[in-house]
Amino acid sequence: MQIVRTAAELRAARAALAGRVGFVPTMGALHAGHARLMEVAKKKADHLIVSIFVNPTQFGPNEDFTKYPRTEEADLALCEATGADIVFLPKATEIYRAEPLIRLAVDPKIAGVLCGAHRPGHFDGVAQVVAILFNLVRPHSACFGEKDYQQLAVLRRLADDLHFGIDIIPVPTVREPDGLALSSRNRYLSPEERAAAPAIYRAMLQCKSRADQIRFDRIAQPVAKVEEEGRALILKEIPGAQIDYFEIRHTDTLEPTQFIMNKSRLFAAVRVGTTRLIDNLLLGG
């Protein structure tokens, strides 16, 4: 496994690879969810490149950029165990020009809802760094987790709108045995908060069960009622939780829907203590 830290080193290492290249961009603090992305990417390509870069442009002024976990040694061990060929570990100066004149802006229709409504500019920063990484790595395919479903939707449009010619591969959410979606931010939870956090997924499963029954009975049930039931369960089981959103939207467009349908997806963002947890669940095929 090669470890490269500059754009020039990456280009040279990439040029030496023959065949299809898969790519997994990460911000480090790697866990089993990232390992799954790498495993899928490796199966879809001849070579695997992983980037580890905590991207400053996707953090707001009051967010956790400075305290975001950096675990380089453990991250590199996981990359090697999963079969990465190249790991790119750049500094910000290798990614961004001192005074960039070109900045990407994502349409608010997809970037201004859900997480984007609570984190202005976040998806502009995500799109900017991924576009740069795509240009540096020049992969044939890239894997992204469905846990960050809105991000996945933005990056699908990025690859399509800018004609990158890269196959964007979604990978299902990896969960703990109790249902909590794996996230680098889970390590911020206290033992009590960690014990309570799976209530988010239980509430989502209850909503899915309710939605399945609605579709089976062919009842025109407004989504607001289902959303209300899920929020109530979370607030009951996690004292002091703050729900940023708990919404049912169309799985492809992320637009709100009035009634449960086959393409409905439930999106949740809940603050447990000071930790913001996100998740989503498809309610119909």
Put the strands of the sheet holding 86-88 in their side by side order.
Answer: 2-4, 86-88, 47-52, 21-26, 141-145, 167-171
For the chain, give every domain's residue range: 2-171, 184-280
DSSP state of 172: P
pLDDT in tens, 14-23: 999 999 999 9
Q: What is the pLDDT of residues 191-217, one digit of tens each?
A: 999 999 999 999 999 999 988 887 666
* Choices 1.10.1740.10, 3.30.1300.10, 3.40.50.720, 2.60.120.10: CATH for 184-280: 3.30.1300.10
Is 140 a catalytic site residue?
A: no
pLDDT at 285 over 70: no
pLDDT at 64: 83
Phi-psi region of 63 (alpha: psi -120 to 50; beta: other; left: phi over 0): beta
- State whether residue 8 is helix, strand or coil: helix
Over 70: is that where the pLDDT of 276 sits? yes
Residue 249 has pLDDT above 80, yes or no: yes
Contact 156, 169 (CB under 8 A): no
State residue 215's pLDDT score: 65
- Catalytic residue selected from 31, 34, 122, 250: 34
The topology (CATH level 3) of 2-171 is: Rossmann fold (3.40.50)
In this prediction, residue 61 has a pLDDT band, given cuts at 50, 70 and 90, of confident
Predicted TM-score (pTM) of the model is 0.94
- Residue-wise pLDDT for 74-91, tens only, equals 999 999 999 999 999 999
Mean pLDDT over all residues of the chain? Answer: 94
Edge to edge, the sheet with strand 275-282 lists: 242-250, 264-272, 275-282
